[in-house]
Structure 1
Amino acid sequence: MSNERAASTVRAGGPRRVQLHRTRGWRKPPGVVVVARPSRWGNPFRLSGPDRVVDTLGDEPVVITCSRGASRATAVAMFRAALRDGELPFDGATVVAELSGHDLACWCPLLDADGAPVPCHADVLLEVANAGRPR
């Protein structure tokens, strides 16, 4: 992804998700907030293979088996539930106060090989932070 394409993700149509890159010359666009691990906004539910998610919130890791190809979606669903249920170190009001109006960056790909959107916890943060704002 070129710098031009990355910069185009920051547009007047509302906050969007930006994919972080390690490619030479790539820079995070101005005003984008990184929500990947190890930031405070990172999803604590880690993908641990193509068919398992490990809940790392508690003292003991809990492995949850899910159908193949649904691992990322399950991790995002778990993040959404944890935010809703107050199990994260921040709440919805904090998300709104600190992330509203900002584009959010994570390492998750934006699209899969077929061009379909890839689920990411940043999408949940965008929804909560910008509830009522056009996206």
Structure 2
Amino acid sequence: MALLVAFFLLTLMRSGMSQMNNSNTNRPIGSFCGRNAPMVLSNFFNNRNFALSEIRRQLSGNDVLYARAQSLAEGDSVFGAAQCRNYLSTAQCLACFDAAVSELTSCLTGNGAYVFFDNCFLRFSRMWNKDKWHKD
């Protein structure tokens, strides 16, 4: 009887596969580009590039899997953050971050963007200053 129950349970089970843990693949899962143009495009680009380079510098440290940075110069301030999965080496984390930055190069004039990969995510956005929009 026990053998019959075990056979019945085995026939109900579906076979499955686990996700391959190939840490060198950086496939995009989802992304978004903002649609609102910054006030001064060159200031936004400078601040975005500074924030992204600062995040990359932080991720270059040993065992650093999360980094954030901001740049407040000349208006159109930018905040950025990135995080890698905890099983990645520093080199793999940087490779995923670089792939994420490359993926977001199409977001040229948007006020922010994010991309999720299998191994990491990257987000940057324009920080709104309510005083700039206030009219006396």
If the length of structure 1 is used for normalisation, what is the TM-score?
Answer: 0.28
| Higher relative strand content | 2
Structure with higher Rg: it is 2
| Higher relative helix content | 2
If the length of structure 2 is used for normalisation, what is the TM-score?
Answer: 0.28
